[in-house]
Chains A and B, each alone.
Chain A
Amino acid sequence: MILTIAIQISELMLSLAVLIGFFRLVKGPTAVDRIIAFDLVVLTIVAFTALLSIEEQTPHFVELILVISLLGFFGTVALVKALSSTLPTTEDT
């Protein structure tokens, strides 16, 4: 009972976090802001998967948590590496 209410409130807060992430993804002035918003959305979806695993009472989503967080990290690193060769830098070291 208390767990159901807590899961619903947590899902509301995480949905708000995903909406804020999409807002920053659209609005963000620089490309780095958009990558930060992408990372926020991916990690919030990881937390959402954990909440869904409690709600469905199944342990089968644990691999999904690992896979989504791995994909988010590799996507962030790939975007940073792709941007660091195109953006103008103040120092070339």
Chain B
Amino acid sequence: MIVDSLIALTLLLGSSIILLSAMGILRLPDAICRGHALGKGMTLGLILVLVGLWVYLGLETAGIKLPLAVAFQFLTIPIASHLLVRLAYRSNEHSSAPPPKPSKPLNPDL
């Protein structure tokens, strides 16, 4: 019962974070911001869901493959997000908004 509650909590938290990442991709204004939403939210949500699956299956049935999958997600999703954001930054058409004005520093004495 406690293990089931733990698995349910992990799955709900991971799915909520994946949905938040999707809403960030829906609502953020720019390709760079969308890559940011993909890289952080998707990593945390997917790792939580896979940890829930690992707790459910147990060590003797799942073996070492699910920690391998978690490590693989942890390596590959930030790399893919970084490549996408780098491509969006290097291409000319990355932003529909005007470039930001250089802001005045808050405390010029520092």
Taken together as a complex, chains A and B put the C-alpha atoms of A32 and B61 apart, in Å, by 40
Per the 8 Å Cβ criterion, residues 43-62 of B in contact with A are 45-46, 49-50, 52-53, 56-57, 61-62
Q: Determine whether the beta carbon of A21 is less than 8 Å from that of B25.
A: yes
Main secondary structure of the interface of B (DSSP, over half): helix
Q: Quick one: which of B22, B62, B66 contacts A21, CB cutoff 8 A? A: B22
Taken together as a complex, chains A and B put the C-alpha atoms of A87 and B75 apart, in Å, by 27
Residue of B nearest to A5 (CB): B8
Q: B93 on the interface (CB 8 Å rule)?
A: yes
Q: Report the contact-size class of chain A (Cβ under 8 Å from the partner).
A: 35 or more
**A43 to B: closest C-beta gap in Å:** 5
Number of A-B contacts (CB under 8 A): 160
Q: B90 on the interface (CB 8 Å rule)?
A: yes
Q: Determine whether the beta carbon of A80 is less than 8 Å from that of B25.
A: no
Q: Report the contact-size class of chain B (Cβ under 8 Å from the partner).
A: 35 or more
Taken together as a complex, chains A and B put the C-alpha atoms of A84 and B94 apart, in Å, by 13
Q: Determine whether the beta carbon of A39 is less than 8 Å from that of B38.
A: yes
**B85 to A: closest C-beta gap in Å:** 8
**A37 to B: closest C-beta gap in Å:** 7
Known contacts A2-B4, A80-B84; is-contact A69 B31 (Cβ 8 Å): no
Q: Quick one: which of B66, B77, B79, B90 contacts A62, CB cutoff 8 A? A: B66
